Amino acid sequence: MSYGMGVSVGMCGEFFNAIIPQLHAQTSHMELLDRLLSLMPVTGRLDVRCHFGSPWRIDQPESTEWEFPYHVLLRGEAVVESDTGGSEPALRMRAGDIVLFPSGSAHRLHDGSGDSPRATRKRDKDGLTIATNGSARGDADVLCGRFVLPAVPQQLMRDHLPGRLLVSSVSEGDVQTRDAAFAATRLARLIELMREEAFEQRPGSATVVNQLSGALFALTLRCASETDQAPRGLLALAQRQRLQPALAAMFDEPEKPWTLPKLAELCHMSRATFARHFEEAINRSASDVLTDIRMALAGRKLAQTGMSVAEIGEAVGYQSDAAFQRMFKRQTGMTPAKWRARSSSIGASEDRS
């Protein structure tokens, strides 16, 4: 942006006073997400691309504890329903929308007609399944895949993200307008690259698709955290600029004996105000979130290092080995030693696959 010589200092001051809070807010979003995804790096798998004409339906079974199913609607419209006994309302997707299920619950996507779906035909093309239903119309184009979480305790992700999350990459408009707008978005460019890599199967394609899926996850969380009504949890917490110093301390120095007064002091708040801000954003206390961060870090160290259990406990803020082992078992349902053995077996299985 250029400025003419006649622009006054007062006008410049007004401009910077207006833009600086926006920059701070964007930075707080990125800092929390950067720390979260550095601690728990997410990869992914692109499983199926669906070209369907109405009527159609996609049934997704319940996922494993390490996976978040996702669906990207490239073209058309869709209705999303969860298998939760009607406790959650149906969602409507349009071109440019992505829906993911951190809960891993079973769900379905369909065209909303209420008619019995056409029979689906599947074929494999270089490791990617292509699904069609014999209709030449091609009303819907959907990518279906899984975000794959690392072998660390999952409470930090699962307990603090909504059970399902619908994010739109384009503004409101009719179907043709949204289709055109989606084609120009960053999300569309990323998905197109994923599609190309999945179809072409060039050397290293599997690794590229996995890494791009991780970028898709990060981009989705970023978009969700920047909305005016981010759902309660980590996404709402990312919007609380005043809480970021405490969150940074918990992620960067989990070994320190943090207390509520010390964390509140970092944020220049009273203890009561700090606790209220945290409760409003995430419906949990700061000590609960700190414990989840510590357990995630401990799980990663158990899986990836040869440090003793006592050394890991001390590295995440526990001076007592017994206290660390009790808390770890309470969070994961198993001892640190069993977690380490399980992580080793999961890693060996992935190496063979």
- Write the pLDDT tens digit of every residue in 124-183: 876 678 899 987 776 898 989 999 888 788 888 888 888 899 988 766 555 556 555 555
What tokens appear for 227 in the block?
């909305």
Amino acid at 79: V
Task: Describe the strand order of the beta sheet including 91-94 as a list of residue ranges.
Answer: 57-60, 107-110, 77-82, 91-94
What tokens appear for 264 in the block?
């509140």
Pairing of strands 57-60, 97-100: unpaired
For 122, residues 6+ apart whose C-beta sits below 8 A from its C-beta are 48, 129, 130, 131
User: Cα(108)–Cα(60) distance, rounded to whole angstroms?
Assistant: 6
DSSP 320: -
What tokens appear for 334 in the block?
């198993």
pTM: 0.79
User: Cα(91)–Cα(70) distance, rounded to whole angstroms?
Assistant: 14
3-class DSSP state of 89: coil
Amino acid at 153: P
User: Cα(159)–Cα(351) distance, rounded to whole angstroms?
Assistant: 29
Instruction: For residue 296, list its beta bridge partners.
Output: none
> What is the pLDDT, as a whole number, of residue 15?
36
Tell me which residue of 76, 82, 122, 80 sits closest to 96, measured CA to CA: 76
Render each residue's pLDDT in the chain as its tens digit; 353 residues.
433 333 333 434 443 343 333 334 444 445 788 888 888 888 888 888 898 999 999 999 999 888 999 998 888 999 999 987 667 899 999 888 899 999 899 999 999 999 999 999 998 876 678 899 987 776 898 989 999 888 788 888 888 888 899 988 766 555 556 555 555 577 778 877 877 777 676 787 777 877 888 888 988 888 888 777 777 888 888 888 899 999 999 999 999 999 999 999 999 999 999 999 999 999 889 999 999 999 999 999 999 999 999 999 999 999 999 999 999 999 999 999 999 998 876 654 554 44
3-class DSSP state of 123: strand
E strands, the chain, in order: 43-52, 57-60, 67-75, 77-82, 91-94, 97-100, 107-110, 121-125, 128-132, 140-148, 165-168
Pairing of strands 91-94, 97-100: unpaired
What tokens appear for 210 in the block?
């996995």
Amino acid at 338: K
Dihedral-angle region of residue 64 (phi above 0 means left; psi in -120 to 50 means alpha; beta otherwise): beta
Residue 297 vs residues 40, 48, 152, 208, 253: alpha-carbon distances, Å: 9, 33, 8, 26, 11
